[in-house]
Amino acid sequence: MNHSPLQNLRDRALLKTAAYVNGAWLEQTQRFSVTDPATGLELARVADTDRGHAQQAIAAAGAAWPAWRDKTAKERATLLMRWNALMLEHADDLALLMTAEQGKPLAEARGEVAYAASFLEWFAEEGRRVCGETIATHDPGKRLLVLRQAVGVCAAITPWNFPLAMITRKVAPALAAGCPVIVKPAEQTPLCALALAELAARAGLPPGIFNVLSADGANSIAVGRALCESPVVRHLSFTGSTEVGRILIRQCAPTIKKLSLELGGNAPFIVFDDADIESAVEGALISKFRNAGQTCVCVNRFYVQEGVYETFVTRLAERVRELRLGNGFDPGVQVASLIDDPAVEKVRQHVSDAQSKGGRVLAGGRLRSGRLFEPTVIADASADMLCAHEETFGPVAPIFRFQSEAEAIALANATEFGLASYLYSRDIGRIFRVAEALESGMVGINTGHISTAEAPFGGVKQSGLGREGSRHGIEDYLELKYLCLGGI
């Protein structure tokens, strides 16, 4: 008899399976199965909403907008802070739901709950600092002013790798700015999104302000399309693959929607001869193996300078062999299940392709069981390997060799992506030269962990548009309105 991890929820009312629209739970919908990626067992049957439900949510959000927009920023902040407090109060249950449906180790899930809640707190504060402008006039008879106003109804389509944080990072600035939001969470991880809706209701968010449309397969695409095509929805925020990002841009073109896109990455991690190697190995472990390599800022390619190459690969392989692989609920597990079978297949393909092209597997390299792929280190990686061009999105560290600083920069930039990059060096001149030359929206220098609500997260090139988090993260949810006052 298999025991569902959800039986350990302290507050069982956080397990919601109906979609949340206009402050009500839609019970009468079709359902789809949500499973534990580690065991394949069904966790719950969740609402499979369709185009009609999307239209219902859009109408509800549109109707709720004026009253929400007209609240003071402080009133909105109070509700966001209450929501933040509820997330923290229920952190253990939220983490449990996350590990159950996403697979990541429980300690990481707890970390994500705190990270996700931090966006509610941050944007509650930022919402109160939205300021307009008065401009020195070109004409003594006129005065020029600029207002910053909420854009209107917003939609968010979110991925499975951060089931809570990718929602709050979009929803918090939207709500703080005065915009209602409709969220279409990833089909693999709707339970976190729906628990968040339950907490939004407890926090007192008015009906229609935060809506969650869970959906699977064809319905998921239809709901996404309805959100893109609606003229009422004025902004779409998406985190996911570049390929789906392109589809959404196309679908949003007829209604000229504002877009925030956080797409794929192919992060390089450069280790120079002068780096502190122990600290580089530490950063590599954090950045590569978090969430089993399934984050868009995970390192995809390691570039290590000739003089320290063997030392670095040997040390990294030693540390990687020590990583504990297992079920996300087991204490001490550091690398857990991949999300699904296609993910396993891609990782397997990248490893066998690298081996066939001369890669030396120094750690891991095999599927241990189920969807547990061993954390893997591959030395002697080369530019013709799949892992040099495609995001592996798994626990594989291919290590390339380079000689000069210029070569490292050229190799790092040889990709259409530009989300995160990392470099390790103790030479301050080199740090500035390389950080400035890297074509990415974010650069970790002597650290493998860069994400925080205070800093602008986002990419250049085909990694996306706009920034999330920081004081910039609210900009996409605000329009400028210029007032020209004559007859003075």
Cβ atoms of 437 and 458 closer than 8 Å? no
Residue nearer to ligand ADP on the CB measure, 225 or 471:
225
Residue 313 Cβ, how far from ligand ADP at the closest point, in Å? Answer: 29
Q: How many CB atoms lie within 10 A of CB 181?
A: 26
Residues near ligand ADP, by CB under 6 A: 157-159, 184, 186-187, 220-221, 224, 240-241, 244, 247
Residue nearer to ligand ADP on the CB measure, 84 or 220:
220
Residue nearer to ligand ADP on the CB measure, 240 or 469:
240
Residue 183 Cβ, how far from ligand ADP at the closest point, in Å? Answer: 9
Cβ atoms of 112 and 162 closer than 8 Å? yes
Cβ atoms of 453 and 119 closer than 8 Å? yes
Residue 321 Cβ, how far from ligand ADP at the closest point, in Å? Answer: 28
Buried b / exposed e over 193-226, threshold 16 CB at 10 Å, is bbbbbbbbbebebbbbbbbbbbbbeebbbbbbeb
Residue nearer to ligand ADP on the CB measure, 305 or 337:
337
**158: amino acid identity, one letter:** T
262 an active-site residue?
yes
Nearest to 228 by CA among 461, 458, 477, 54: 54
Q: Is the dihedral of CA 411, 465, 256, 180 positive or negative?
A: positive
296 an active-site residue?
yes
Residue nearer to ligand ADP on the CB measure, 158 or 327:
158
Task: Report the C-alpha gap between 431 and 443 in whole angstroms.
Answer: 10
Residue nearer to ligand ADP on the CB measure, 118 or 220:
220
Residue 117 Cβ, how far from ligand ADP at the closest point, in Å? Answer: 21
- Catalytic residue (one of 154, 192, 228, 296): 296
Task: Report the C-alpha gap between 168 and 160 in whole angstroms.
Answer: 13
Which residues are paired to 299 by β-bridges? 267
Residue 219 Cβ, how far from ligand ADP at the closest point, in Å? Answer: 10
Residue 70 Cβ, how far from ligand ADP at the closest point, in Å? Answer: 31
Please spell the DSSP secondary structure of 147-204, one letter per residue.
EEEE--EEEEE--SSSTTHHHHHHHHHHHHHT--EEEE--TT-HHHHHHHHHHHHHHT
- Catalytic residue (one of 101, 112, 262, 475): 262
Cα 397–Cα 189–Cα 332 angle in degrees, nearest 5: 50
- Residues designated catalytic: 262, 296
